[in-house]
Structure 1
Amino acid sequence: MTATNLHDQPFPWRGFLWTALIAGIWINISEVVRYFAFVMPMLRDAFPQIADVAPMDLGVFAIWGLWDTILVLAVTGAIWIYLDRFGAGIRNSVLAATFVWAAIFVILWLGVWNMGLTTPSIIAVALPLAWLELAIAGLIVNWGRSCFAS
């Protein structure tokens, strides 16, 4: 398939949405585990002087839902497009996921650190777990493209 006829193919929305749903389930599970098991307790230990640091209430939960929705669509879309352009497979799935991880999580945590709102030890835990989350999401997108895109 050449670059010129890529645009002639209808986008497989149904397959994309099924893939995003499955990747989204994984991403949400991973986000919840990472936050409650690691990030929240580590932030509370690092910043005991800040009352109610790393809270979880209805407002935070709503923002988190918006964050996860944007994250799932961005991850699924970017990896899907990368695999369409450069070819499917495990290597390209992990490579695409790594690019998305750097663009989202590395920038996020650098900004949080720059504002003095985290510590290097929290980043040393959060970033590798976020990378693993997106690497697995990349594999899910690769699998979903082959299962649902036809």
Structure 2
Amino acid sequence: QNLDIAPEDEKPTSKPPTETPVVEPLSDVVERTTSTKSTETKSTRKPSRFKKARDNNVPDNAIPKGPFDVPSKLVQQQPRVVPTGPEGSTIADKLVERDTSANVSVPDEFDDSITHQEVADEYQRMRRKFIHRDGGFLKE
């Protein structure tokens, strides 16, 4: 039993408590002074021709893009009235019914060129999948 153990007769020393100075928190606050120059300076770049065209070509009766941009004059307008016709009768006097042709051709949903292209795409997809699963072209 050859263990290296420190003797127990030494007592751990403790640091004497130091007095912390009492400082009011408001005395540490320092306010920065703001500069007297205005932070909003105009850029020296002139606006693009598209922004100029967008601002200048707005007609008075144009409808705005969003629902919250609608001016009050559009909200106060009366909605359009749908014509209903006289009471008790239909709007159209005659109902026109046309005969359908007896020889209706069924559209060919399976076009040969589209089918060939889909088969080729699926072949290439599966080929890439198998090559990737086997480790790619690094084996060669």
TM-score (normalised: structure 1): 0.17
Higher Rg: 2
Bigger helix share: 1
Higher relative contact order (CA 8 A, sep 6+): 1
